[in-house]
Chains A and B, each alone.
Chain A
């Protein structure tokens, strides 16, 4: 005999009202929370705050570069701005944004109740505000923030003041947070999938994060080591990167980029995942070539460990080294192209609509491909020697980082906001936000290809007259780009406070578990019982 127990009325009530906050209210709720949804939300808001701080720094840079000559800031402060803009955007804005997505979505997409280590999840978030404050504090110590570029090349780092030490400490904390996050994500994905959710049935976003977490675990100790050696070279008389003491400054670059190149994919792979969720939803058609997408992502991850020296073609490598890294780098174009073709095939003969998330995904597809093209140009060692450390490189990595990561982050937020909050954003304003962002982004960065080709070096506060027009256009674009993001803030706040109620399956074509199995907003505790996956 078998019996099935029915719902008890009181039990259901309990489920809905739930003791969400475990006895705490207000601020303490957020400090003590171990709920993946709360933590995801905090990651996203933190990332947005850092995005605003880093963006303001970018505007200081662009204001100074509006005209040749020194007008607003001195060269010292200018370089501090470029350094901190880079560090804050990479480690403070983009990475936490995607960890935020991971927290919100991975448990819901694999049918798990929460992350594997809920308490550690709380810690890995709360490290971030301390790290962010340290970075900002470095402006206020004697000597100011380090002016060494986000890559922190030795031996310039040795000349910096106390700000450098604060930055090193901040990088350590950020690394620690990332590692804890990655351990959590790997364990969650491997061990907490609902019965029937085999690896090859996982949504692509989950796959990209599994691979990303693997990359993070493999590459983070390298960064930690690099900055620690910088620290001991500065204060404890070691000579890892000091030629006078038998070290090698170029070793630092090898170490940094051995971390740095996987880092680029750590940033972009989750973005690929987000796009792979959005495009099928608005094409009303399943993702084309799911398996090949997984393989392509894995090959990109593996290749990312053997291409690092393409950032260093001008250090004077032997010709064989130059050629090896050139071939390996161009090889990345193959899986990347594969992914782009798969996305196009997903759209092909679909039934397309163009809500804001879809617009951002298409914007990503277009601009990321452009960034890929300039990447191909830069991969060719001979051409790169001409373009190394010029604005061409600046244009290239903003096309892949901003158009790649930021656009997808926007797209993802618009896409999942209805699920997260149960409220809809204003579609008209969302489209305005997309078009303003898209147009001003291109005004800002497309012209930088030209100044770069003509030889304008990066990280200079003042420039020869031939670059003036491009810089003026770029600065105008940057201010437009920056202020357009205030519209984003308005749209989100408005949606949360007074948005229309969202449907449980807001997007007709969405097919992952959070859309098919959960109401909107997703309940505070979801999938305590694993769903059945067919």
Chain B
């Protein structure tokens, strides 16, 4: 016990080391705080957080001031004799009341922020967001742009993730189709999911909402700045959970109108004619693209899958078996597995293409060609 004073200096060196490491960290340009706010609500959250942090720092200094004073002043090695008090009702009442009062002080701004966050009335635009393993579906269901619908997937190339290529600036935070919304308009987001629970959120908007299969929940945001804002899925949803980002591009009202027009034209042009008759090579080439976009994460580029969770397609029972079974599983998925139903995500041509591709790629040589019309007929 008495050796302590002799070792004090050594322990102080360790404490100094701790601060040195902390200081070394701060030398980098780092993110220290919440992302810059782009909505009023995110701004409220910032102020609330700062307000509470100030209180915390004050309490911290008070409480640990007392503790460290005691640690230094009341030590035995200095010859301090122990007092013998062990009760004082007045003091105990006081320090029960004080934390309570602090809470009351916090409660007011905290309550206001919650109420503001929850008010989804009077929105200008309503967008339904559907979580899929592992991509986001967006449907503009009310307001300007009604009818626009697309799927948004990670666009970071696989080789960046695997470390064979240099990582880009927006590594893991970039998608093929960004959600586009007008600035200064109240956007109501309805969330749901097709398979498991996901969570849609954009930190700069102070918005986050679980997407729950079979249920619809809503949040709202009103971006006050033009720009691109990025978030990630924030509820564990399976193995690619870390790879389904959310990107929202906030544009001016005019740009938004332009985007809506362009999108509508694109939709009309891209609409595949399900009656078209394809050649095997053409549809296989298209199928390879569909496969790369939708299937490769589980079934792998070489079709070997990662059994047993994700079965191989190369020589698989279904992929070289009767084609009806193959089309059925792609259209309707397999319950209780990660195999999703693609009926609503892909059009007839894409499904025909990917099934044809799978039945003729790698070691699979069925030679069968499935036309979009067949899919159309099989849809329920």
A→B interface (CB under 8 Å): 68-71, 74-76, 79, 142-144, 147-149, 153, 155-156, 158-159, 161, 234, 242-244, 248-250, 283-292, 314-316, 318-319, 322-323, 326-327, 330-331, 333-334, 337-338, 340-342, 344-355, 362, 365-366, 369, 373, 376-377, 380-383, 385-386, 388-390, 427-428, 431, 435, 439, 442-443, 446-447, 450-451, 453-455, 457, 459-467, 469-470, 473, 509
Contact = CB atoms under 8 A, between A and B. Distances in A.
Contact of B233 (A457, A461, A463): A457
A292 B59 CA distance: 21
Contacts of A71: 163
A445 to B, nearest CB: 13
A459 B273 CA distance: 42
B234 A389 contact: yes
A242 B82 CA distance: 62
29 contacts: A69-B167, A70-B161, A75-B242, A79-B239, A153-B197, A159-B196, A161-B308, A161-B309, A288-B87, A330-B106, A334-B96, A337-B96, A337-B99, A348-B66, A349-B80, A351-B74, A354-B4, A362-B67, A365-B67, A382-B116, A385-B206, A388-B234, A389-B234, A439-B14, A454-B31, A457-B234, A462-B161, A462-B242, A473-B25
Interface in B153-170: 160-163, 167, 169-170
Most chain B beta-carbon contacts within 10 A, residue among A244, A283, A284, A455: A455
B27 to A, nearest CB: 10
B81 to A, nearest CB: 6
Contacts of A509: 82
Contacts of B362: none
A518 B309 CA distance: 58
Given A331-B103, A352-B76, A453 B239 contact: no
B82 A69 contact: no
Contacts of A318: 118
B161 A469 contact: no
B241 A460 contact: yes
Interface residues of B, number: 115
A383 B25 contact: no
Contacts of B357: none
Contacts of A68: 167, 171-172
B306 to A, nearest CB: 7
A289 B309 contact: no
Interface stretch (B207-215, B250-258, B369-377): B207-215
Contacts of B88: 289, 345
Interface of B: 1, 3-4, 7, 11, 14, 17-18, 21-22, 25, 28, 30-35, 41-42, 44-45, 48-49, 52-53, 56, 59-60, 63-64, 66-67, 70-71, 74-77, 80-88, 91-92, 95-96, 99-100, 103, 106-107, 110-111, 113-118, 160-163, 167, 169-173, 191, 195-197, 199, 201, 203, 206-210, 212-215, 217-219, 230-243, 306-309, 336-338
B160 A69 contact: yes
Contacts of B212: 243, 249-250, 315-316
Contact of A462 (B21, B81, B91, B243): B243
A334 B100 contact: yes
Contacts of B210: 314-316
B82 A355 contact: no
Contacts of B59: 373
Nearest 5 A/B pairs, CB to CB? A243-B214, A460-B242, A316-B217, A382-B113, A454-B31
A473 B21 CA distance: 9
Contact of A327 (B91, B107, B232, B337): B107
Contacts of B195: 155, 159
